[in-house]
């Protein structure tokens, strides 16, 4: 897709996501009801596509330290967020998106 896009709050980039390589899948930024979430589905699980974020490993890597990237949901306001903490920082666990470098 042509054009530029900014990554809306509350996402904060700590480093760029990986690049296309064997064993990786694209990770997309999607939107629902004004909230943004990450997905490996280009159709954004039936919601609005925003942009390609980068690439994420589909399994742990044998010679590189990786951690699971979790989809999480805040208890109090149902806001969707990503976390590398297995317990979703004490919030609701929504599944594993893939693996990112530790």
Buried/exposed code over 67-78 (b: 16+ C-beta within 10 A; e: otherwise): ebbbbbbeeeee
pTM of the prediction? 0.79
Interacting residues of 36 by C-beta distance below 8 A, sequence separation 6+: 8, 10, 11, 29, 30, 50, 80
Q: Going residue by residue through the chain (102 aa), what tens digit of pLDDT does each one get?
A: 333 333 343 343 434 577 899 999 999 999 998 899 999 999 999 999 999 999 999 999 989 899 999 999 999 988 999 999 999 999 999 999 999 988
**63 phi-psi bin (left φ>0, alpha ψ -120 to 50, beta other):** alpha
Q: Which residue has the tokens 């890597």?
A: 61
The pLDDT assigned to 4 comes to 33
């Amino acid at each position: 897709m042509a054009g530029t896009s900014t990554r809306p709050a509350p996402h904060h980039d700590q480093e760029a996501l990986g690049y296309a390589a064997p064993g990786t899948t694209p990770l997309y930024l999607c939107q629902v009801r004004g909230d943004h979430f990450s997905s490996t589905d280009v159709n954004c699980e039936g919601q609005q596509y925003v942009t390609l974020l980068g690439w994420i490993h589909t399994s742990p890597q044998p010679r590189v330290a990786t951690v699971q990237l979790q989809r999480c949901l805040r208890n109090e306001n149902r806001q969707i967020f990503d976390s590398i903490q297995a317990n979703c920082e004490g919030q609701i666990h929504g599944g594993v998106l893939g693996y990112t470098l530790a």
